[in-house]
Amino acid sequence: MSNLPPVALLLGDESFLVDRELKAIEAASEITSPEDMNRQVFDAAESNVGEVVNSAKTLPFLGSRRLIIVKAVDKWSASQWDTLTAYLEKPNPSTTLVLIAEKIDKRRSYWKTLKKSAHIVECVKPSDSELTGWIRRISQEAGFEVGANVAQSLVLRVGPDLQLLYREILKLQAFAGDKGRVTVEDVEVLVGESRGTTVFVLCDALGMRQLGPSLKALRKLLELGEAPVKIVYMIARHFRILTKARYLKERGGRVNPGEAASSLGVPPFVARKAMDQAAKWSWDRLDRVVRELLHADYMLKSGGKEEVVEKLVIDLCT
């Protein structure tokens, strides 16, 4: 971000992307120290909008720019936004005002002002089908290339957590060196299996109705400290994908991986596996899966723990 805008809005609930954009703004402004007198941070839930505006209007002290960061601006009332809107229409050119919000009511009049006056960056987590593209783009920015199969392998081993994925991308960057690229084999050697990996292994084994591998993956997940409620959530998510895949198969005709991926909202390599697994599940059995998942959820909320998930896995495979 070479030319800093007077107002920036970081919009979305993916904290990793918000932090990444904020660091880029700080670096471009050359105001990176929390102690810098030209840097001020507000929490909108606790700060008066008038304080923010006064700070933004203040001229830099022994510097060329001020950086004002306001978190959780979605907590402000309409009247508070009215006060800020007057500033947004004529912002101080020597200040960069960074507004951070998980969501904004786009029906409000201040949204029109934001669109006109602010540099807006969407900080929304990529969908499952977009993750491999995100990995390839971030890797390219880091100075090395990864193929689609390498990105897919990374997702399988790490899971969808952007912070963890970025950490592994930096590790691969150091390994790539002058070669400028890495292979699937490099990923398998350098990237350890995580809870996310084991969840995918468990879900794939359940999708194939393989009891032994399912129980093995479940035990490993529990040993890694994964919460039973999170495991049940991921199993439920997987069976929602399989149910959609079953619908696709029954439409008739050949469904290519690209179409399946788009319909299921997952990467093509996941879509291929889902279509194969869906063939093993009748509609009657999928109806039972819903009841078994609801029962497991109820038992977990009633105080059950590991034994509830183990029974669910056994029931799903039989």
Domains of the chain: 7-122 (3.40.50.300), 128-190 (1.10.8.60), 195-317 (1.20.272.10)
Position 194 scores a pLDDT of: 66
Q: For 33-60, how does the pLDDT look when each residue is reduced to its tens digit (9 = 90+)?
A: 888 889 999 999 899 999 999 999 999 9
Q: How much of the chain, in percent, has pLDDT values that exceed 70?
A: 97
* pLDDT at residue 312 tops 60: yes
Quickly list H helices, 98-227: 109-117, 131-141, 148-158, 162-176, 184-190, 195-207, 211-223
Q: H or E segment at 205? A: helix 195-207
Torsion of CA 209, 211, 212, 214, to 10 degrees: 80
What pLDDT is recorded for position 308?
A: 94
Predicted pLDDT of residue 196: 64
pLDDT tens readout for residues 10-34: 999 999 999 999 999 999 998 888 8
**pLDDT tens digit sequence for 167-197:** 999 999 999 888 888 998 888 888 876 666 7
Task: Write down the pLDDT at residue 102.
Answer: 94
Supply the pLDDT for residue 16: 95
Q: Give pLDDT tens digits for 192-226.
A: 766 667 888 899 999 999 999 999 999 989 988 88
pLDDT of residue 195: 66
β 39-43/119-122 pair status: unpaired
Which pair of tokens denotes residue 267? 């990467």
Is it the case that residue 2 has pLDDT exceeding 70?
no
pTM over 0.95: no
* pLDDT at site 290: 95
Task: Check if the beta carbon of residue 103 is closer than 8 Å to that of residue 74.
Answer: yes
Mean per-residue pLDDT for 230-250? 92
Sorting pLDDT into bands at 50, 70 and 90, what band is 86? very high
Q: What pLDDT was estimated at residue 179? A: 85
